Amino acid sequence: MTDKNTVLEKKFISAVVYLRNDAGRIESFADKLTEFLSSNFVDYEIIFANDASTDDSIPVIKSLCARDSRMRAVSIVQMGHFQGQESAMNAGRDLAIGDFVYEFDDMLMDYDRDLMLQVYHKALEGYDIVSAGCSNAISVSSRIFYHYYNRLSASEKDISSETFRILSRRAINKVKMIDQYIPYRKAIYMNCGLESAFLTYESGDAGLRKKMMKGRHERSALAVDSLIYFTNAMEKLSIWICVLFAIVALAVGADIIYETAAFTHPVEGWRSTMGFLSIGFFGVFLVLAIILRYLSVLVNLVFKKTRYLIAGIDKVTS
Amino acid sequence: MNNDTYDKIIIGAGLYGLYAADFCGKKGERVLVLERDGGAFRRATYINQARVHMGYHYPRSLSTAKKSAGYFKRFCEEYDFCIHRDFAQVYATSSRFSWTDAEQFMLFCETAGIPCEEVPVSRYFRQDMCDGAFLTREYTYDAAELARYYTDRIADMPNVSIEYGSRIEDILCDEAHNCFVITLAGGRKLEGAFLLNATYASTNQVLNMVRGAEHKEFDLKYELCEIILTEPSEELKNVGITVMDGPFFSIMPFGKTGFHSLTSVSFTPHITSYENTPVFRCQERAGKDVCSSQDLGNCSECECRPDSAWPYMDHLARKYMLPQYDYKYVRSLFSMKPILKASEVDDSRPTAIRVNHRSPDMVSVLSGKINTVYDMEEYL
């Protein structure tokens, strides 16, 4: 309950929550969230980014809103079809009007409620982006991904596994100036040039947290995409493969020249055939390297165009 | 002739009621206007955006748009004295969540034949918030001046009178004597051969009160709406801004008051009632004498009106507009808005006029726009 003696913060807070078949988790999460918001802030809104849930998540939210008067200004962004966490959260964040926007990537609250306030206070210290992530429940594959990502990305700031974060309005505006489409939020936030901070916590339910991370198949595709978008890992890899094959082709060419010079007599036609093949393949790999370069430019162009598709916005309470 | 017998009895002293009273008074008919509040134009005629619609609002309903544009000219000519036109009315299409984009909006204006000139988005809005901004021709009317105009005219007509603070207890359709008998609180009885129901949000409530005649209610839902009056900065003073077409906002001059009205699609409606008459929880707190589902009070004057949604509307507008277009909170106005259920999909706002009964005649009018007031003439 709201303690009458505490002074409520005047900042307007938006909380954007990712929702994908979480009917079982909504109640306890929403309860803790509204408790936190209503006991600390005068004005707030809650936005559920519903990524085409097929269970009864929506009726659960609506009944919660009807029951709990603290569930103020609740909106649901209905994604047209399943589009993944990044798109849904982008849509939710775009709808938010707060001075500060919380992004909850999932509804597992395996952290202490005070952490949400700590993150806010950290933001007030001058950090436009403050994230919270758990330290004890990162899967091996995640660790490998973040390790290589951080090594290869151009950004000096490292990213890590995060559970939720807070963004200032300034950060959101800045991010919009950089790019219209945001394929991987964390990376863009870190690249926007504003001050950021990271708080870690010990997960109260590491097992479940790990399981949840694994359950998200689209995350592995996103990992590969992110490496393509934000690092030159894939470009480097493919260029190296091209170079390798070009070397092989050149080696064959060198062999032919050597054999011609040494007056050996291989099978009739071998020299002309292999000579043609080696020059041909060398050309092909050269062209491929050029095409890859073009493709990497195209990737940059394309992700400025793609957006998300929403089906509608439901105003649940005002 | 009995003193309490009239040619026409009009319920509701809003624009539609007074327009009809003036129209019939000029013909020499004996007309009485019954108004629940203490003055004219205290509800929807006053408490709305005060926009004289040209049709820009309805990119999903060409018929509504065309009709608005047609009436716009006539209204502006006839009511020139109460119209404020010296400001730039800017419409913009939001980059996100909008049902209409800049291109579609331009095409729509062209089809509807309404002026629309593209202006740089960056002149008014923050980066990346809107994909098109357009200078349009749309005005605002001053409800207070319009009310004065009509009450003055009616005061000059001995055959027309307005009774404020009147509460209707019963309406009887007396077919044998070809008249409606209205009983007011206190027992006074009034008779009229023609009854005009121009009560907007109370239309169904009045219809339900009629005994002795078959009648059909309008298929309605109700929204309790808040309009915020703000004091604009120097830069905003001569600018009106409307962001379309979805959960956005509008801030524009409010008649000649010097204030700007601030409204938003998602925060202006506070509570919705899906019943056919307005049923709200706040009515219990207000008490039967002030307001009930059978007899709607004036939300703006009610002690039980909701808390203002100012922080929400304020943040929404500031998210879009450049900081120099600043404004300060002055006060909130509340009113009940009935919405025809049939018009939700295309967001059209038809003016519904229904003949509820013949001999004696009863007509109900329901319109959310002032410039379609002329539609009524053929029924009077």
**pLDDT at residue B68, as a whole number:** 78
* Chain segment A4-14, per-residue pLDDT in tens: 446 778 889 99
CB contact under 8 A, B127 and A99: no
Q: Which residues of A lie closer than 8 Å to B, measured between beta carbons?
A: 12, 42-43, 45, 73, 75, 91, 94-95, 97-99, 169, 173, 176-177, 180, 310, 313, 315, 318
Strand partners, B336: B224
CA B225 → CA A299, B171, B188, B307, distances in Å?
47, 29, 34, 11
Which of the residue ranges A111-115, B169-173, B212-216, B229-233 would you say has the lowest mean pLDDT? B212-216
Closest C-alpha to B110, from B148, B162, B35, B55: B55
Kindly list the residues from chain B whose CB atom is less than 8 angstroms away from the CB atom of residue A97.
312, 315-316, 319
Give the Cβ contact number of residue B214 at 10 Å.
8
**pLDDT at residue A1, as a whole number:** 40
Question: Which residues in B56-71 are b (16+ Cβ under 10 Å) and which e?
Answer: bbbbbbeebbebbbeb
For residue B343, pLDDT over 70 is answered with no
**pLDDT at residue B136, as a whole number:** 95
| Helical pair A218-230 and A84-95, crossing angle rounded to 10 deg | 70
Which of the residue ranges A73-87, A250-264, A300-314, B205-219 would you say has the lowest mean pLDDT? A300-314
For residue A212, pLDDT over 90 is answered with no
Distance, CA of B375 to CA of B74 (rounded, Å): 12
Residues 6+ apart with CB under 8 A from A222: A84, A86, A184
Per DSSP (E only), the strands in chain A are 9-19, 41-50, 74-79, 100-104, 129-134, 164-168, 196-201, 310-315
Kindly list the residues from chain A whose CB atom is less than 8 angstroms away from the CB atom of residue B312.
43, 45, 73, 97, 318
For residue B334, pLDDT over 90 is answered with yes
pLDDT band at A309 (very low <50, low <70, confident <90, very high): low
Give the Cβ contact number of residue B111 at 10 Å.
12
For residue A150, pLDDT over 70 is answered with yes
* Chain segment A151-171, per-residue pLDDT in tens: 887 777 788 888 999 999 888
- ipTM of this predicted structure: 0.71
Distance, CA of B99 to CA of B92 (rounded, Å): 12
For residue A2, pLDDT over 60 is answered with no
Kindly list the residues from chain A whose CB atom is less than 8 angstroms away from the CB atom of residue B127.
173, 176-177
Distance, CA of A148 to CA of B321 (rounded, Å): 41
**pLDDT at residue B111, as a whole number:** 86
**pLDDT at residue B2, as a whole number:** 56
Residues 6+ apart with CB under 8 A from A140: none
Residues B289, B295, B296, B301: is their CA dihedral positive or negative? negative
The model's pTM is: 0.80
**% of chain A at pLDDT higher than 70:** 89
CB contact under 8 A, B309 and A315: no
What is the average per-residue pLDDT within B28-54?
94
A20 to chain B, closest Cα gap in Å: 20
**% of chain B at pLDDT higher than 90:** 75
Partner-chain residue, chosen from B96, B267, B315, that has the shortest CB–CB distance to A98: B315
**pLDDT at residue B184, as a whole number:** 94
> Do B341 and B273 meet the contact criterion of CB atoms below 8 Å apart?
no
**% of chain B at pLDDT higher than 70:** 97
What is the average per-residue pLDDT within B352-367?
92
Mean pLDDT, all residues of chain A: 83
* Chain segment B91-145, per-residue pLDDT in tens: 999 998 888 889 889 988 988 889 999 999 999 999 889 999 999 999 999 999 9
CA A46 → CA A15, A105, B16, distances in Å?
5, 14, 41
**Terminus-to-terminus CA distance in chain A, angstroms?**
20
Kindly list the residues from chain A whose CB atom is less than 8 angstroms away from the CB atom of residue B128.
176-177, 180
What angle is formed at CA B323 by the lines to CA B320 and CA B324, rounded to 5 degrees?
A: 125
Q: Tell me if residue A8 falls in helix, strand or coil.
A: coil
Joined together, the tokens standing for residue B19 give 């327009």
* Chain segment A53-63, per-residue pLDDT in tens: 999 999 999 99
* Chain segment A241-279, per-residue pLDDT in tens: 888 888 888 888 888 888 888 877 777 787 788 888 888
**pLDDT at residue A39, as a whole number:** 92
pLDDT band at A280 (very low <50, low <70, confident <90, very high): confident
What is the average per-residue pLDDT within A44-55?
93
Phi, psi angle pair for B327, to nearest 5°: -160, 160
Mean pLDDT, all residues of chain B: 92
**pLDDT at residue B214, as a whole number:** 83
pLDDT band at A306 (very low <50, low <70, confident <90, very high): very low
Q: Is the peptide bond before B375 cis (omega within 30 degrees of 0)?
A: no
Position with higher pLDDT, B328 vs A229? B328
> Do A57 and A90 meet the contact criterion of CB atoms below 8 Å apart?
no
For residue B329, pLDDT over 50 is answered with yes
A142 to chain B, closest Cα gap in Å: 33
**pLDDT at residue A303, as a whole number:** 59
Distance, CA of B140 to CA of B258 (rounded, Å): 11
> What type of residue is B219?
D
Give the Cβ contact number of residue A316 at 10 Å.
17
* Chain segment B264-302, per-residue pLDDT in tens: 998 999 999 999 999 999 999 999 999 999 999 999 999
For residue B14, pLDDT over 70 is answered with yes
Closest C-alpha to B276, from B340, B212, B342: B340
What is the average per-residue pLDDT within B240-253?
94
A296 to chain B, closest Cα gap in Å: 25
Distance, CA of B99 to CA of B59 (rounded, Å): 9
CB contact under 8 A, A91 and B96: yes
For residue A145, pLDDT over 90 is answered with no
Distance, CA of A44 to CA of A8 (rounded, Å): 11
Secondary structure, 3-state, chain B = CCCCEEEEEEECCCHHHHHHHHHHHHCCCCEEEECCCCCCCCCCCCCCCCEECCCCCCCCCHHHHHHHHHHHHHHHHHCHHHEECCCEEEEEEECCCCCCCHHHHHHHHHHHCCCEEEECHHHCECCCCEEEEEEECCEEECHHHHHHHHHHHHHCCCCEEEECCCCEEEEEEECCCCEEEEEECCCCEEEEEEEEECCHHHHHHHHHHEECCCCCCCCEEEEEEEEEEEEECCCCCCEEEEEECCCCEEEEECCCCCCEEEEECCCCEEEEECCCCCCCCHHHHHCCCCCCCCCCCCHHHCCCCCCCCHHHHHHHHHHHECCCCCEEEEEEEEEEEEEEHHHCCCCCCCCEEEEEECCCEEEEEECCCHHHHHHHHHHC
**Four-CA torsion B234, B236, B239, B241, nearest 10 degrees:** 180
